[in-house]
Structure 1
C-alpha cells in the first residue's frame, strides 16, 4: 500500500530590510503587529515573513501532536511553549519557532525548537538559535526532517546535523517523518501510536 503524502507548495521569499538598529526593529515590530506575519531579527536585518496558511499549519500541528504523544508515552516531564518569542538585544536576535518545547522542569528557554519551512531565503535560522543557545533544532522542509544539535562552549558554539535526536531520546525519526507526511491526520496519529505500542 502506498501512502499519500502532504503536497508541497511553491516557496515564497520573505522581505528583508538591512542596516536596522535594535531600537528601530522594536519600533517597526510594534507598527507591524498583525496576524499572518512573523518578524525576525538578526545582525541588523529585519525579516518579514507572511505565514503560508493551511499546509504549514497542518504540518506544524501534526508534528506537534505526534511529538507530544511520544513525549507523554516516553515519560518526559515536558512543557509545550509553542511559538513563544525568543529574543535578546545583547546578541541582536529575535526569533519565534513554529513549535518549541521545554523537555524537563525548571528550564528557562526551550530545549527544542521546530521550524516548518514553506518559504525560501531570509535570515540564518540556525545562527539565530545558536545565539539563543537552543540545544536542538528540527527543520521539516519538502517532506524531509533534519535535526541539528548545539555543540561547543561559549565562543565556539555550532550546530551539528545529526541522524537521531539527543534531546528526545529514543524517538524513531523515520517513523515520525512518515506519519508527519501522511495526508490523513487521524491515520497518521493512529499509525504512530500503534508503532509506539509495539
Structure 2
C-alpha cells in the first residue's frame, strides 16, 4: 500500500503487503489528512481506510480476510437473487459523512434503489473488536451493520442514535434469512467454497 508522509500527494512511502494475516495502522489526523492518505491509496485494492473522531485507520487485508469477505458476498448475493430481491452490491465502496466519518466495509448493499448510504454494511474483523467500529457507522447513518469475527456473525440495527444487537436482520429484504444457516455455510466455505455455495443455493431456492 502507499502512505502519504506530508501534505503533498506525490511524496509517498511504500509499505509491503499481502500476507495471510491482516495488518493494521492507526494514525492521529484530521479530515484533510485522511483525504490525502485516501488519494495516495487509490490504486491499492487490498487497503481499506477508515476515519472517525480524529483517528485514521489503515487496514491491509490478508488472504484469510479476503477469503471470508468473498464467501459472505457470494452467499448473500445468492440468497438475494433467488428471493427475487432488487438489490445493488457495492462491495468496499467508500461510505462517508463529510468531515466526520468514513468507512470501507467488505460488503455493502442497497435495496430497491441506489442510495448515498447503503442499507447494509458488512465487515470481516481480524484486528480489533467490531463493537467499537459501530461509532463510525452511526455517524455515517448505515441502518444495519454485520460483523464476522471469530466464527460468529453479529448483527446490529440502528435505532435512533444507537445500534442495538439483533438476532436476525430487521431489513425487510432479509427478514426471511436464517442467520444460523448463513453462518454455517460461511464456515463451510473456509475449506470448500464450491460446496458451501451449492448447499446454500439449495437453501435459498427452497426459501423462494
TM-score range, shorter chain: 0.7 to 0.9
The equivalent residue for 1:61 is: 70
Partner of 1:140: 148
Match of 1:26 among 24, 29, 35: 35
TM-superposition CA deviations, 1:33-78 (whole Å, max 9, x none): 45232221111111122112x2211111111111111111222110
Match of 1:44 in 2: 54
The residue number in structure 2 matching 1:191 is 199
Q: Among 85, 95, 98, which residue is 1:89 paired with?
A: 98
Q: Which runs of 5+ in 2 are unaligned?
A: 1-19
TM-score by length of 1: 0.84
Q: Distance in 2 between matches of 1:89 and 1:45?
A: 15
Contact 1:40 1:94 in 2 (8 A): yes
Question: Structure 1's 123 and 26: CA in aligned 2 closer, same or farther, altered over 3 A?
Answer: farther
Q: Name structure 1 gaps, 5 residues minimum.
A: 1-9
Q: CA RMSD in A?
A: 2.2
The structure showing larger relative contact order (alpha-carbon pairs under 8 Å, at least 6 residues apart) is 1
Aligned match of 1:130: 138
Q: Which residue of 1 aligns with 2:177?
A: 171
Please, which of 159, 162, 168 is the counterpart of residue 166 of structure 2? 162
Structure 1 residues 187 and 85: alpha-carbon distance in aligned structure 2, compared to 1, 3 A threshold? same
CA, structure 1 residues 143+160, in 2 after alignment: closer, same or farther (shift >3 Å)?
same
2: CA distance between counterparts of 1:32 and 1:72? 33
